[in-house]
Amino acid sequence: MKHPAWLSRPLKGQTVECLACSHYCKIPPGKTGICGVRYNDNGQLQLLVYGRPGAINTDPIEKKPLFHFDPGSQIFSIGTVGCNFSCLFCQNWELSQGNKGQPKETVEASGIALSPKEAVDYCLNNKIPAIAFTYNEPAIFFEYAFDTAKLAKEHGLKTVYVSNGFESEEALDKMTPWIDAINIDLKGPKGFYHTICGGRIEPIQKNIERLWKDGMWVEVTTLLIPGHNDSDEELKAIADFLVSISPDMPWHLSRYFPCYKMDAPPTPLASLERAYGIGKKAGLKYVYVGNVQTDYEHTFCPKCHKKVIERKDYLVHNHLRKDACPKCGEVIAGRFGNLLQD
């Protein structure tokens, strides 16, 4: 569905600059930006996928992954087609890349019809406490996400972004008041972004720091790809960067499996354990290993090391008392307003 993409500004000769992400695409008439869904219609930027999600599901909040934000709760997840990156390893490439190069009429007709009001009503009617914009990059369907998030907050729902972190400053200025939590991929070093992802690391690092300092709850995910972003030096650089912002920021280390255009072998468990140790040694209090069952998916008190939140197959057993360890009273960083306690 075509809808005005108002996060934009006109340039000369009917060219339009898109302000949704840090690419700042300058789009001539009849073309889309890198994402394939923001289209210049005779000098007016249009979002082709407004109200047309390509995927909707009700998920555990842990699947985003968010481990310190209302653990054990459910979240309604929405994603469209398109992406502003072109990661060779994309796990959702059918959604994120399949639309690129398609006629605009095909992109407009993608997915199913779901207005912001219908999404919010579904959550209210089914007692789902939050909405996530996920599966592909929500920055590219900004106007749809913004209208949905604003309406959701007005009805007492919580809102979440799952993002590559490449939002523009303009997008963050407008969206931040309406988003409660975000998981951002910090994928690897500078060269990795250039050769593998089609992006730049600098805006992402800047946005992680900005959002944390602005008070949004932030968790970070790194997908470990053997031989590409999993050296000790690369992992230590990420961990040190996160610690420089706050040792309370959770870091998720996710196991890679071959997908899309990347044929590296699956991440060995030993590599994930090594990365876990690097994160802890750097000073991060909360480091997790995902896409494989290990003891590193549990939350441990950083002071007395008691297991305070247990996780297995998205089943959560929470032993916190309010937001603190029941043994030593250490406050566990996070947003635990909807805690499901044992």
Q: How is the chain split into domains, by residue range?
A: 3-47, 55-305, 306-342
Kindly report the average pLDDT of the chain as a whole number.
96
Please give the backbone phi and psi of residue 238, each rounded to the nearest 5 degrees, phi first.
Answer: -65, -50
Q: What is the pLDDT of residue 338?
A: 56
Per-residue model confidence as pLDDT tens digits over 196-210:
999 999 999 999 999
Q: Do residues 330 and 324 make contact, with C-beta atoms less than 8 angstroms apart?
A: yes
219-232: average pLDDT? 97
pLDDT beyond 80 at 342: no
Please give the average per-residue pLDDT across 248-260, as a whole number: 97
Confidence bin at 125 (pLDDT 50/70/90): very high
pLDDT in tens, 15-65: 999 999 999 999 999 999 999 999 999 999 999 999 999 999 999 999 999
Give 326-333 contacts, CB < 8 A, sequence gap 24+: 327/301, 328/301, 328/303, 328/304, 330/301, 330/302, 330/303, 330/304, 332/68, 332/299, 332/301, 332/302, 332/308, 333/68, 333/248, 333/285, 333/286
Whether the model pTM is above 0.85:
yes
Pairing of strands 315-318, 307-312: antiparallel
Compute the distance between CA of residue 284 and CA of residue 280 in angstroms, rounded to an integer.
5
Pairing of strands 251-255, 217-224: parallel
Residues paired with 58 in a beta bridge: 76
- C-alpha to C-alpha distance for 298 and 138, rounded to whole angstroms: 28
Helices assigned H by DSSP within the chain? 93-96, 104-108, 116-125, 142-154, 169-175, 190-192, 201-213, 232-245, 269-282
Q: Buried b vs exposed e over 94-107: b needs ≥16 C-beta within 10 Å?
A: ebbbbbbebebeeb
Question: According to the model, what pLDDT value does residue 337 have?
Answer: 75
CATH dotted code for 55-305: 3.20.20.70
What's residue 3's pLDDT? 96
Q: Check residue 232 and give its pLDDT.
A: 98
